[in-house]
């Protein structure tokens, strides 16, 4: 496994609540990686540390096998696309893209060729002599991307690059970004607070909250096997049930008993996705009362109560099928295989 | 994993320890030293002298001398009276104008905005003589009144004259601040109050007035302080029983050693600070400008026919008043003789010929001094703004506050302080005193105008999103390249505007100039105007110089405005 970026026990900030606390992770070369978390989780700070805007209080950052922890931003050769794009308003598109190459003291002819190639790649060849202010948001985004990839950085850093685009453009750019990254075979790290962005684009996701890594894994693994409450609820909807695992592997909570889910005995919290629960006539499984019903198009969502424990159930909707009413008693079946035991 | 054993414990670098690089520390220290040497020490010197007795010890005897002197006591109350009455008169002009712009759809709104700038391009002392000729006892208006109705109105008698001239010059400060406040009020604020049942006077009292008050008080305080500190206008109107003229006369006629000039300076500083503090106290917890979304101001109503007529008449009346010093000074500059007459007896261009023949040095001195002062201000202002906004150096806020407070330092006090502090410092090459060397004027201008350049630079950097710099560093540009290729080009407009503002206001500064000009050959334009205006024969050429100064300042102000507008255009389209 070729190493792309290594974050080695990085802490940033001082005091009782540092911005980042003992963060370690590895990004493989050529991988598309995402840092996912709510605002204030430290994800952008981590990205900025990789770019060199700030130095970790402790820990190391490696790009390939090179320790860059103490290198200034301009010596790192990592390309960053800023959330605001940060295009220089006093320079033409061409000048913006050429800037990094000029810093690398390339021959003029080579700069021209590379700038032309980069603009071609993002489909903006005919806009080379415009000022950034004369371009649309999506076009500005492409210029920012061209300006970054033209220097052939070892790592491409993307700080919420799609957050300023409207919903439709956002989906388009997401696909384009992924294709571009594959074509260039470049290591990319993408910061976002949007789980859909992260799920659709990334090979691997690191979920951050309060300066700590909560879980690292593929989008599917994070969704199906969340490690803790935060990951379970941040990625999609989850029913969290507090209870106790008995020595035999049986889970017992107020009004709920589940057989043979395994796990270490003692107090535990389990997570079940609403669509992993099936509905049965009353008398089967866990007996619940329907408190609220939402029709969401493809599915019907029931907010049910098992005693004091709320459980949300999603049922795929088919025309002609029975719909249960508020106040009705039904049974819920939860298969042990669908249950995640959280830390 | 072996990584545990290789955890790098960061040794805090210079930058981490001090919050900035060595170069940034040097910049901050440099600006601080400039302010200490040419502002803080001179002012402290003034204060020290005021409290030092003949034996060199601490004493309050000079202050009791001040209180025992009937003329000085009168001067104090006169200064307070003039400053306060100017605020009242200026408010009578500014508040209706601001209300008309904010409240109504009025076609003359552009005219009002122009009205808000026109007085500022001419320093009050230039217009004072012309005002005397128009509104004085034997001026145009009173001659007509006397002929037609048999009475005169003492517009220009004694303190009235000062109040009248200053109010016409300074009302824009209230107009501009109040208008800004009013236009910041989100119309939804007013609408939600109406929605909840408030209207008419209740609406005004509970919603509009409290939200507009900060702008009004800020403007009024500024007018009070400016008038209280003004030296040139009373001097030119021959009013000497006010504080600033008294201090000036003590220093220039009795000498640098007379303590009374310093005592008056201390009292002037205290009054300036007092007015500012009072304004601050009034506004404490009341500045809501940052909490509002700036919804484009109150909802505007149409004025009826009568309303339009009244408003139009009021504005034309104010416009005539405001333009009268400009018209007067222009007439004076082309008049053969204008005395005891409604209009000049005849017209000539001889004064201009005279001025261009004899007063070349005045103009070139002004350009040299003010150009240098503007340059110093831009360099210091931009460096300081950069350090304040882009580093975490300790003390940077303090240096900024000190630099900004120069706006409240009376020119007269700074002049006295510089004179006293550097009188004994000799130039190594000529043995001349540093205090009377022409460069001291440049320094005095630079200190007092630094706040303008600093705010212009601060605004320019604030508009410059930090990611623009980070993007350059990310692409391989070092700090210096980033500065020269990205920061400076993007700040050019703001800095230019700061330079022009410093230049234009320094060109008509007279308080410090009067004290620091030692040789006629070193004198700038403002000083020349003042000297010419002293004699009846010099009024023509003085007025011609005044017109030249007004034209220069007007062009500079217009340029600054255009640059600022263009910059805003580029920046707003960029994001």
Nearest CB partner across the interface for A73, out of B6, B473, B574: B473
List the 42-81 stretch of A: residues with Cβ below 8 A of B. 51-53, 55-60, 69, 72-80
> Do the beta carbons of residue B214 and residue B287 sit within 8 Å?
yes
Using the beta-carbon criterion (under 8 Å), do B13 and A55 form an inter-chain contact?
yes
Using the beta-carbon criterion (under 8 Å), do A60 and B8 form an inter-chain contact?
yes
CA distance A332 to A284: 7
CA B54 to chain A, closest CA, distance in angstroms equals 57
Q: pTM score > 0.80 for this model?
A: no
CA distance A311 to A289: 10
Tell me the mean pLDDT in the region A302-319.
Answer: 91
Nearest CB partner across the interface for A86, out of B7, B16, B467: B467
CA distance B547 to B347: 15
Q: Which two tokens stand for residue B505?
A: 């206001």
As to burial, measured by CB atoms within 10 angstroms (0-12 exposed, 13-18 middle, 19+ buried), residue A120 is exposed
Query: Looking at the DSSP assignment, which residues form a beta bridge with residue B105?
Result: B302
Q: What local confidence, expressed as pLDDT, does residue A208 receive?
A: 96
Asked if A316 is an interface residue toward chain B (Cβ–Cβ < 8 A), one would say no
CA distance B360 to A333: 100
Query: Looking at the DSSP assignment, which residues form a beta bridge with residue A305?
Result: A289, A310
CA distance A176 to A173: 5
pLDDT at A1 over 70: no
Question: Cα dihedral angle (A330, A335, A341, B1), rounded to 10 degrees?
Answer: -160
Contacts of B478 (CB under 8 A, 6+ apart): A72, A74
Least Cα distance to A169 among A137, A124, A198, A125 occurs for A137
Using the beta-carbon criterion (under 8 Å), do B490 and A88 form an inter-chain contact?
yes
CA A134 to chain B, closest CA, distance in angstroms equals 8
**Segment of A38-42, A251-255, B287-291, B341-345 carrying the highest mean pLDDT:** A38-42
Using the beta-carbon criterion (under 8 Å), do A89 and B486 form an inter-chain contact?
no
Asked if B467 is an interface residue toward chain A (Cβ–Cβ < 8 A), one would say yes
Nearest CB partner across the interface for B468, out of A80, A88, A103: A88
Asked if A99 is an interface residue toward chain B (Cβ–Cβ < 8 A), one would say yes
Using the beta-carbon criterion (under 8 Å), do A103 and B3 form an inter-chain contact?
no
Nearest CB partner across the interface for A90, out of B9, B476, B489: B489
Question: Cα dihedral angle (B87, B91, B94, B98), rounded to 10 degrees?
Answer: 130
CA distance B537 to B13: 69
**Chain B positions in Cβ-Cβ contact with residue A78 (cut-off 8 Å):** 474
Query: Looking at the DSSP assignment, which residues form a beta bridge with residue A213?
Result: A208
Q: What local confidence, expressed as pLDDT, does residue B295 receive?
A: 52
CA B456 to chain A, closest CA, distance in angstroms equals 19
Using the beta-carbon criterion (under 8 Å), do A60 and B485 form an inter-chain contact?
no
CA distance B130 to B343: 12
Using the beta-carbon criterion (under 8 Å), do B474 and A74 form an inter-chain contact?
yes
Complex prediction ipTM: 0.79
CA distance A179 to A28: 18
Nearest CB partner across the interface for B470, out of A53, A77, A99: A53
Asked if B165 is an interface residue toward chain A (Cβ–Cβ < 8 A), one would say no
Q: What local confidence, expressed as pLDDT, does residue A228 receive?
A: 92
Using the beta-carbon criterion (under 8 Å), do B574 and A87 form an inter-chain contact?
yes
Domains annotated on chain B, with CATH: 19-53+350-575 (1.10.3720.10), 64-348 (1.10.3720.10)
Least Cα distance to B178 among B277, B82, B86, B298 occurs for B298
CA A145 to chain B, closest CA, distance in angstroms equals 12
HSE at residue B341, side-chain half, CA atoms within 13 A, is 11
DSSP conformational letter for B299: P
Least Cα distance to B216 among B77, B97, B79, B80 occurs for B97
HSE at residue B33, side-chain half, CA atoms within 13 A, is 6
Residue recorded with tokens 């190459």: A101
Asked if B12 is an interface residue toward chain A (Cβ–Cβ < 8 A), one would say no
List the 14-43 stretch of B: residues with Cβ below 8 A of A. 16
CA distance A66 to A6: 10
- Alpha helix (H) ranges present in chain A? 43-51, 93-103, 108-121, 137-149, 167-184, 195-201, 219-224, 229-234
Q: What local confidence, expressed as pLDDT, does residue B297 receive?
A: 63
CA A215 to chain B, closest CA, distance in angstroms equals 19
Alpha-carbon Rg of chain A, whole angstroms?
Answer: 25
SS3 of residue A4 by DSSP: strand
Least Cα distance to B434 among B454, B451, B420, B414 occurs for B420
pLDDT in tens, A150-160: 999 999 999 99
**Chain A positions in Cβ-Cβ contact with residue B9 (cut-off 8 Å):** 58
Beta strands in B409-553 (DSSP E): none
Q: What local confidence, expressed as pLDDT, does residue B426 receive?
A: 85
Q: Which two tokens stand for residue B540?
A: 């023509």
**Chain B positions in Cβ-Cβ contact with residue A89 (cut-off 8 Å):** 490, 570-571, 573-574
CA distance B336 to B36: 50
Using the beta-carbon criterion (under 8 Å), do B573 and A89 form an inter-chain contact?
yes
Residue recorded with tokens 């008294």: B246
Residue recorded with tokens 């039904």: A330
> Do the beta carbons of residue B156 and residue B325 sit within 8 Å?
no
Query: Looking at the DSSP assignment, which residues form a beta bridge with residue A215?
Result: A207
CA distance B138 to B144: 9
Asked if B6 is an interface residue toward chain A (Cβ–Cβ < 8 A), one would say yes
Query: Looking at the DSSP assignment, which residues form a beta bridge with residue A286?
Result: A332
Nearest CB partner across the interface for A9, out of B7, B473, B481: B7
**Chain B positions in Cβ-Cβ contact with residue A24 (cut-off 8 Å):** 3
Ramachandran class of A208: left when φ > 0, alpha when ψ lies in -120 to 50, beta otherwise: beta
Using the beta-carbon criterion (under 8 Å), do B471 and A88 form an inter-chain contact?
yes
DSSP conformational letter for B118: G
Using the beta-carbon criterion (under 8 Å), do B10 and A132 form an inter-chain contact?
no
CA B4 to chain A, closest CA, distance in angstroms equals 8
Domains annotated on chain A, with CATH: 3-229 (3.40.50.300), 237-342 (2.40.50.140)
> Do the beta carbons of residue B149 and residue B112 sit within 8 Å?
no
Asked if B368 is an interface residue toward chain A (Cβ–Cβ < 8 A), one would say no
For A152, which residue in chain B has the nearest alpha carbon?
Answer: B475
Q: What local confidence, expressed as pLDDT, does residue B6 receive?
A: 39
For A144, which residue in chain B has the nearest alpha carbon?
Answer: B471
CA distance B457 to A222: 49
For B7, which residue in chain A has the nearest alpha carbon?
Answer: A59
Residues of chain B short of pLDDT 70, as ranges, are 1-19, 187-188, 197, 200, 285-299, 567-575
CA A223 to chain B, closest CA, distance in angstroms equals 28
pLDDT at A336 over 70: yes
Question: Roughly what angle, to the nearest 10 degrees, separates helices B259-283 and B411-422?
Answer: 140
CA distance A194 to B369: 58
**Chain B positions in Cβ-Cβ contact with residue A86 (cut-off 8 Å):** 465, 467-468, 470-471
Residue recorded with tokens 């003589």: B129
For B475, which residue in chain A has the nearest alpha carbon?
Answer: A100
Q: Check the CA dihedral B44-B46-B48-B51 and report its sign.
A: negative
Least Cα distance to B509 among B532, B535, B527 occurs for B527
Burial call B415-443: b when 16+ CB within 10 Å, e when fewer:
bbbbbbbbeeeeeeeeeebbbbbbebbbb
Least Cα distance to B439 among B371, B342, B529 occurs for B371
Residue recorded with tokens 């350059």: B472
């Amino acid at each position: 496994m070729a190493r792309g970026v290594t974050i080695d026990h990085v802490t940033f900030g001082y005091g009782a609540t540092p911005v980042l606390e003992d963060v370690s992770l590895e990004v493989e070369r050529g991988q598309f990686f995402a840092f996912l978390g709510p605002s204030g989780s430290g994800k952008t700070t981590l990205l900025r540390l990789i770019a060199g805007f700030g130095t970790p209080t402790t820990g190391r950052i490696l790009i390939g096998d090179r320790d860059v922890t103490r290198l200034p931003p301009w010596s790192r050769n990592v390309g960053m696309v800023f959330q605001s794009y940060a295009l220089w308003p006093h320079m033409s598109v061409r000048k913006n893209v050429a800037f990094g190459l000029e810093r690398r003291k390339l021959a003029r002819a080579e700069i021209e060729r590379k700038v032309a190639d980069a603009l071609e790649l993002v489909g903006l060849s005919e806009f080379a002599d415009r000022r950034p202010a004369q371009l649309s948001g999506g076009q500005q985004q492409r210029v920012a991307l061209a300006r970054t990839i033209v220097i052939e950085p070892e790592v491409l850093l993307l700080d919420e690059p799609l957050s300023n685009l409207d919903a439709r453009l956002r989906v388009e750019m997401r696909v384009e970004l992924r294709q571009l990254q594959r074509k260039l075979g470049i290591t990319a790290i993408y910061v976002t607070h949007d789980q859909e962005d992260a799920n659709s684009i990334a090979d691997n996701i690191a979920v951050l909250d309060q300066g700590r890594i909560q879980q690292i894994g593929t989008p599917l693994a994070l969704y199906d096997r969340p490690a803790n409450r935060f990951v379970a609820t941040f990625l999609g909807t989850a029913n969290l049930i507090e209870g106790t695992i008995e020595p035999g592997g049986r889970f017992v909570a107020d009004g709920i008993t589940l057989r043979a889910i395994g796990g270490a005995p003692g107090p535990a919290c389990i997570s079940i996705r609403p669509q992993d629960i099936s509905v049965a006539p009353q008398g089967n499984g866990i007996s619940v009362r329907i408190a609220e019903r939402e029709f969401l198009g493809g599915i019907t969502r029931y907010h049910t109560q098992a005693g004091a424990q709320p459980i949300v159930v999603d049922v795929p909707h088919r025309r002609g099928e029975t719909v249960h009413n508020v106040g009705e008693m039904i049974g819920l079946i939860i298969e042990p295989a669908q249950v995640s035991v959280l830390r | 994993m072996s990584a545990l054993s290789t955890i790098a414990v960061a040794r805090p670098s210079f930058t981490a320890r001090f919050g900035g690089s060595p170069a940034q520390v040097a910049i901050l220290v440099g600006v601080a030293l400039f302010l200490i040497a040419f502002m803080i020490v001179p002012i402290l010197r003034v204060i020290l002298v005021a409290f030092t007795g003949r034996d060199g010890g601490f004493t309050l005897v000079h202050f009791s001398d001040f209180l025992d002197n009937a003329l000085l006591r009168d001067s104090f109350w006169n200064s307070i009276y003039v400053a306060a009455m100017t605020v009242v008169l200026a408010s009578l002009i500014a508040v209706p104008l601001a209300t008309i712009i904010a409240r109504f759809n009025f076609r003359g709104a552009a005219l009002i905005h122009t009205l808000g700038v026109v007085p500022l391009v001419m320093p009050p002392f230039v217009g004072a003589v012309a005002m005397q000729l128009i509104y004085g006892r034997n001026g145009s208006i009173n001659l007509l009144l006397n002929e037609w109705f048999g009475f005169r109105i003492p517009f220009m008698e004694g303190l009235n004259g000062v109040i009248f001239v200053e109010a016409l010059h300074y009302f824009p400060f209230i107009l501009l601040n109040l208008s800004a406040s009013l236009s910041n009020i989100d119309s939804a604020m007013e609408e939600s109050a109406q929605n909840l049942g408030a209207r008419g006077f209740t609406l005004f009292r509970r919603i509009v007035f409290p939200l507009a008050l900060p702008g009004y008080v800020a403007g009024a305080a500024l007018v009070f302080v400016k008038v209280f500190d003004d030296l040139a206008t009373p001097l030119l109107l021959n009013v000497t029983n006010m504080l600033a003229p008294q201090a000036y006369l003590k220093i220039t006629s009795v000498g640098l050693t007379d303590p009374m000039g310093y005592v008056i300076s201390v009292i002037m500083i205290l009054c300036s600070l007092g007015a500012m503090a009072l304004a601050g106290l009034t506004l404490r917890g009341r500045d809501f400008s940052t909490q509002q979304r700036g919804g484009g101001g109150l909802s505007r109503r149409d004025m009826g026919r009568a309303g339009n007529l009244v408003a139009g008449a009021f504005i034309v009346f104010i416009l005539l008043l405001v333009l009268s010093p400009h018209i007067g000074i222009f007439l004076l500059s082309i008049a053969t003789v204008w005395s005891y007459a409604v209009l000049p007896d005849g017209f000539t261009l001889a004064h201009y010929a005279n001025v261009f023949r004899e007063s070349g040095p005045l103009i070139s001195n002004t350009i040299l001094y003010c150009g240098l002062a503007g340059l110093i201000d831009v360099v210091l202002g931009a460096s300081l703004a950069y350090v304040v906004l882009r580093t975490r150096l300790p003390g940077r806020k303090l240096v900024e506050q000190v630099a900004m407070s120069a706006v409240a330092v009376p020119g007269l006090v700074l002049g006295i302080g510089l004179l006293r502090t550097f009188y004994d410092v000799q130039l190594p090459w000529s043995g001349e005193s540093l205090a009377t060397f022409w460069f001291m004027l440049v320094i005095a201008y630079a200190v007092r105008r630094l706040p303008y350049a600093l705010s212009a630079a601060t605004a320019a950097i604030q508009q410059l999103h930090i990611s623009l710099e980070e993007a350059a560093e990310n692409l391989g540009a070092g700090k210096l390249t980033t500065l020269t290729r990205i920061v400076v080009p993007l700040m050019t407009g703001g800095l230019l505007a700061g330079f022009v503002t410093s230049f234009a206001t320094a060109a008509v500064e007279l308080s410090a100039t009067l004290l620091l000009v030692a040789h006629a050959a070193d004198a700038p334009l403002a000083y020349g105007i003042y000297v010419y205006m002293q004699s009846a024969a010099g009024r023509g050429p003085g007025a011609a110089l005044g017109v030249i100064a007004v034209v220069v300042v007007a062009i500079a102000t217009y340029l600054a405005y255009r640059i600022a507008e263009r910059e805003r255009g580029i920046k707003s389209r960029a994001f």
